[in-house]
Homo-oligomer: A and B are copies of this chain.
């Protein structure tokens, strides 16, 4: 890429001077799958992230004692996992002739039926998925995994699948936590193939005037950011799964990133997209806004592979921020913190992030902090100032951008926080959060090693309902846990904020109920989701629907809304081959 080496410009003004009006930079091809962080071998088949990595607890001596006490456990137990050799997969259901035909469709090098490939495309990364993988009992692996290289191959694959009655599961990063990628068995189908998009991972074009990048759907978070940052840009989308998730998956599930409060959810970043459906290709128009009828783009975004395969998108990109400042603030109560976020959002000047932990999450964060002595001193000081440990809530406030913007945005946010009784606890907390923000998912594997259930769930609602919803969810989860005779903890943070409301993100931990692990999870999930639906929350703010939330989709969209969605599916996927069992539930 010719301009890849040019130094990042700090404002669009400079860019406009450097490049004549209307100039386009062609994108360079990224360096193949070797840069893909999800490469076979490097990534755990049984857990989160890289084989070589685990969550460090040796420098957090308070964590285990705190957890044992909270969960009323006398000791830590051990729940080992099976080895790869012990995993048994059912044999492929597709016969040799069908596989041979499949190989003729996209080339034998891009079709795999190996144990490793089938296994790693069997499940996502939800708690139940991890439970299943650790036991090595895989019921529904795909019969084959295919790696198309372009839209034409995707179209040929879908024609083949239609004709052969094979269901198709689009697979991006595979980090779904709601059962979005497993090939659910569906009556009437001969088998299922996973369509892994990792070979469609190029940045096709960067328009430095309109600030958009045309990108293939299979590019991973780090690869995309690497490519963009070389020429001074960023997409600005950093979900917790960032290192292992993929553009197409973000769009298919309406993903949110850690700084989506400022930059928008993924659906706000998509200028246009291309989907190959069984009925043909759809290209939405690349314009900033339109009144040409209903916005079809917003139908394809969030369709979770049930309507077709997202193949590419034109994404709105940003200049890399000139400056970035993340800092901590402590509030006397959750309500004070919520009010500070709301007042900031409704001012119209939006910071990158206002992440407010509830009292329990604040306590857990302290236990996961490696700054023992400093923290203790700070807490002692705060207590003297009237901040009650069981009620206080920590917020990470992040601002980024150019100097003018940052200053204005920070000023409004800090004022709102101070008006609501916040005490500034400094940049250290913010920087620690920044450094460790992709680490927490690794902790799940450690907890599972010790027979501890750990799951997350999220929702969003309007400001007027937020505090009540927060309390109700906590209660519903902890009661559901107690209903099976163990003690658990649910804690949360306000994760993304909007003009009219915010999302709230729960983590829950409990000792596993031996022999009934899946039932235990289901009971909690049902209680929490029913509670969300009763209290005006949305079924999901950014995890998506998948298989796990599908039982509630009718309640979420209403009978006529669901019927409308099914009519769209019928139009684009008449035989129902696309990702059956997801989003819409059973056909």
Which residues in A have some Cβ–Cβ distance to B below 8 Å? Answer: 11-13, 16, 21-22, 24, 207, 209-212, 253-256, 262, 265, 267, 271, 277, 279-304, 316, 319, 335, 339, 342-343, 346-349, 401-402, 404-405, 407-408, 411-412, 416, 419, 460-465, 467-468, 496, 498-503, 536-545, 549, 553, 556-561, 563-565, 567-568, 570-572, 583-584
Contact = CB atoms under 8 A, between A and B. Distances in A.
Given A289-B265, A298-B298, A541-B290, A571 B561 contact: no
A263 to B, nearest CB: 9
A11 B347 contact: yes
Contact of A296 (B499, B565, B571, B584): B565
Number of copies: 2
Given A416-B13, A462-B210, A498 B254 contact: no
Nearest to A267: B295
Nearest to A16: B339
Contact of A210 (B271, B500, B560): B500
B538 A285 contact: yes
Given A293-B302, A567-B570, 19 more contacts: A21-B335, A207-B462, A210-B500, A254-B291, A280-B560, A284-B561, A288-B462, A288-B501, A289-B496, A290-B541, A291-B538, A291-B541, A294-B299, A294-B565, A295-B302, A299-B564, A348-B405, A563-B571, A568-B568
Contacts of A462: 207, 209-210, 212, 271, 286-288
A462 B502 CA distance: 31
Given A12-B347, A286-B536, A543 B302 contact: no
A500 B267 CA distance: 15
A294 B536 CA distance: 19
Contact of A539 (B21, B290, B319): B290
Contacts of A209: 342, 462-464
Contacts of A304: 293
Given A22-B468, A401-B348, A568-B564, A291 B416 contact: no
Nearest to A556: B292
Nearest to A266: B291
Given A293-B545, A302-B293, A545-B293, A288 B401 contact: no
Contacts of A296: 557, 561, 564-565
A343 B316 CA distance: 15
A571 B285 CA distance: 25
Contacts of A349: 349, 404-405, 408
- Can you list the 9 inter-chain pairs with the closest CB atoms, starting with the nearest? A408-B408, A567-B571, A288-B501, A298-B298, A288-B498, A254-B291, A210-B462, A290-B538, A12-B346
B288 A293 contact: no
A398 to B, nearest CB: 14
Contacts of A538: 285, 287, 289-292
Contact of A501 (B22, B210, B544): B210
Contact of A301 (B279, B282, B294, B467): B294
A298 to B, nearest CB: 4
A267 B253 CA distance: 21
Given A210-B501, A347-B402, A501-B210, A292 B539 contact: yes
B463 A291 contact: no
